[in-house]
Amino acid sequence: MIKTPRDAAAGSALDFVIQAPLIVREDLAVLAALTEAEDVEPLANAATEAYRLHNVQQYDGVEEACTATKYDCALVPQSRKLDRVHLVALDMDSTLITIECIDEIADMQGVKPRVAAITERAMRGEIDFRESLMQRVELLAGLPVAALERVYADRVRLSPGAQTMLRGFKTVGAKTLLVSGGFTFFTERLKALLAFDYALGNTLEIIDDTLTGRIAGEIVDAQSKARKFRQLADEHRGLEGLAVAIGDGANDLPMLAEADVSIAYHAKPTVRAEATHAIDYCGLDAVLNLFA
């Protein structure tokens, strides 16, 4: 359901952003009429096709029309400017990157179906994340560290538009945070590759270049991610600053709840329902179009 964003002041002017790999002109005309928009602005710099419908007066039935045509849509306040963003946090697995790392590590151990089933239940919020993580990591005992190197080299791929999005936020001076219930083996490499300012993840215990099946130190879970996000948001917040969080699974929900603007990226229904906006069809670069 389209909701009025929390960063919209009472009575503030609202725009409607529509984006997709391809938008049919006739559909755009229908949506402009439905919203009673003042005018339509093409977003020329968008990697995907995108339009901003200015000063919309109503949006009943608009989300349903966009869903039917597989267009991402969002109601955004005109006061939301890109240069107000001071912090952007991304989940790693299935958000910044296209895979769940633990599932691919498990494939190296021959237990991917068992691990993936637990991962899916945890993502939907059906089982406690901490318990699910310990169960999955235990199944990795005995795996050589070289298997992690192969997963990183052969299977880790950035989500479409990830670098464009990060570059856009860095241009305005925003700090970037990579958070994950996954592993520092991957978060630290991605932090270096993409110049994240901060990263948080779980550390796999390794003895004699072999996984023990245990986590070393405190477990990073949903609350840990939210605390780190809140700490950095408070540390870097300006007078009118915005903190943005992007995730896809149930263990991202506490962090998303802390954000001024929260975005569910190719996410589970429970996450889409709680986030400010959802991006289901476009890449991460589409996030930039939610800011003027």
pLDDT tens per residue across all 292 residues of the chain = 687 898 887 778 999 999 999 999 999 999 999 999 999 999 976 678 999 999 999 999 999 999 999 999 999 999 999 999 999 999 999 999 999 999 999 999 999 999 999 988 888 888 888 999 999 999 999 999 999 999 999 999 999 999 999 999 999 999 999 999 999 999 999 999 999 999 999 999 999 999 999 999 999 999 999 999 999 999 998 778 999 999 999 999 999 999 999 999 999 999 999 999 999 999 999 999 999 9
Indicate yes or no: pTM above 0.85.
Answer: yes
How far is 113 from 124, CA to CA, in rounded Å?
A: 17
Of 25, 45, 94, the C-alpha closest to 286 is 45
What is the structure's pLDDT at 240? 81
Q: What angle do CA 242, 47, 51 make, to 5 degrees?
A: 70
Catalytic residues: 91, 93
Amino acid of residue 194: L
> Going from the N-terminus, what domains does the chain have, and what CATH number goes with each?
1-79 (3.30.70.260), 81-98+158-292 (3.40.50.1000)
Q: Quote the pLDDT of residue 46.
A: 62
3-class secondary structure for the chain? CCCCCCCCCCCCCEEEEEEECCCCHHHHHHHHHHHCCCEEEECCCCCCEEEEEECCCCCCCHHHHHHHHCCEEEEEECCCCHHHEEEEEEECECCCECCCHHHHHHHHHCCHHHHHHHHHHHHCCCCCHHHHHHHHHHCCCCCEHHHHHHHHHHCCCECCCHHHHHHHHHHCCCEEEEEEEEEHHHHHHHHHHHCCCEEEEEEEEEECCEEEEEEECCCCCHHHHHHHHHHHHHHHCCCCCEEEEEECCHHHHHHHHHCCEEEEECCCHHHHHHCCEEECCCCHHHHHHHCC
